[in-house]
Structure 1
């Protein structure tokens, strides 16, 4: 019995030793925290320990960094292609919008020029019209506009743009009208030289950039660069509108008349909108008749073929 009791005597000794060690560690920890908090004597030791365990921290983060790198580097080709397609479509959309804005800006400039040209229109009423078709026959310079009799259009009414005379209406429907340009081979209008008042006719040559002024004597005072304006004769075109500028004068002593060529001031091959002059034009429905015209002056051709 004495032997058994001696074997079971240190039953609680390990627990007591552990408690003592725990108490000592707690006291030591409190002492270290107090010293560190008040006097910061352990800052250097903390830095050394942090530096020494930094490689271990990096080693622990290495698997996560490797996974992120692999995910970003080896992203699926389908996802990249899809993103590339979306970006390309977005770029095309933006470019299309930019082109539309550029076209609107150009149209705005043209309309503003037309409105500013009305300053030169004294008492005439004007109406803006837009081209909807062009006759591509090289021998017929004719256009179709989106204004008709319901808008007040009548045969013979002149068309202008911001630079000068474009032509005149040759056929009028209810909602559309056909017009012949001043460069058409069948068209001629009374004009005068703005510098000295010499009168003549501006006859179409079939070329958008050239008119001819026949029957000007060789001794006529006409120079390259002279501005040609409407004379107001004939009762169709009001007086004072720019028509063309003289570009070439050929004097032939064997002939009584010089050859004079001029370039229209209006952009006949690029015009998109025109001004239709509504006033001072005779109305056939009320029995009004235009004044007698010179021979071949202001002849009107048949309406253009629609596109």
Structure 2
């Protein structure tokens, strides 16, 4: 009877043979590079399995990176909109600062005589009465401001100080119906007086004979009479002349150089540096005497 199990080589012998073969293969691969071609083929055969094994991880990474909830998208969209609004606000602020910087540069570069003292002021309030053209500025007695002081901007004459407080002052504009200013025609030196009409865009010149050499488009500048406004500052342009022979005087309308409804920064002047003695011209005249006295002086 044959036995069921046949005794073969012992496990020790098989282990020894395996170790010997392994050593031989390692030596041949390391020193002789005998298995480079076989390794390349094996690598090519195994690479699809590697791709298949890594596919689930790649899918999970893609899903976690790109699939976000609707709520998260809404939050991101809202955040981006807020950032966009903030950037627009910054741009507007920079634009406003640029405009103010340009105004201040023009204001400080206005045609002043070198010895003339000057100071920049900012408008705090505008009179709400449409028939009273007055504004409030942020300069007062503490800054050396005095009543009757001339006020200009980068284009021309604005008005004069009417009332002075400790830290602010009230300015009477040249377009106010109670204000009058002595002028001269820049072209030929003819002297005249322009008074306010209560309109920002119009002033009137009274008591001018028909034979006076004045034309539409003539530039009117301060004459220096009265000692309040320095001589030579632009004030208005002649816009209309009505020569009616039935009337004793010509009707002349002039347009102020300064845009009174767009004022922001002003320049205060000291024509006499430090007025030690208060004269009759240091205070605004009453509404019924101002035009008469200036007319007498001119």
TM-score by length of 2: 0.84
Contact persistence 1:187–1:297 (CA under 8 A): no
Contact persistence 2:230–2:271 (CA under 8 A): no
**Structure 2 unaligned regions, length at least 5:** 283-288
- Does 2:27 correspond to 1:33? no
- Does 2:182 correspond to 1:190? yes
Give 1:170-249 correspondences, 5 Å limit. Answer: 170-249=162-241
Name the CA distance, whole Å, in 2 between partners of 1:77 and 1:151.
Answer: 62
Deviation at 1:154, TM superposition (A): 1.6
Deviation at 1:58, TM superposition (A): 1.5
Q: Deviations over 1:152-198 (max 9, x none)?
A: 21211110001110011111122211111111111110001101011
Contact persistence 1:218–1:258 (CA under 8 A): yes
Deviation at 1:106, TM superposition (A): 1.6
Match of 2:104 in 1: 111
Aligned partner of residue 163 in structure 1, secondary structure: coil
Contact persistence 1:146–1:176 (CA under 8 A): yes
Give 1:31-180 correspondences, 5 Å limit. Answer: 31-36=28-33, 45-117=38-110, 119-180=111-172
Cα distance 1:34–1:174, how it changes in 2: closer, same or farther (>3 A)?
A: same
Contact persistence 2:116–2:273 (CA under 8 A): no
Name the CA distance, whole Å, in 1 between partners of 2:118 and 2:168.
Answer: 16
- Does 2:246 correspond to 1:254? yes
Cα distance 1:281–1:215, how it changes in 2: closer, same or farther (>3 A)?
A: farther
Aligned length: 287
Deviation at 1:235, TM superposition (A): 2.1
**Structure 1 unaligned regions, length at least 5:** 299-307
Match of 1:22 in 2: 19
Name the CA distance, whole Å, in 2 between partners of 1:297 and 1:52.
Answer: 111
Deviation at 1:100, TM superposition (A): 2.2
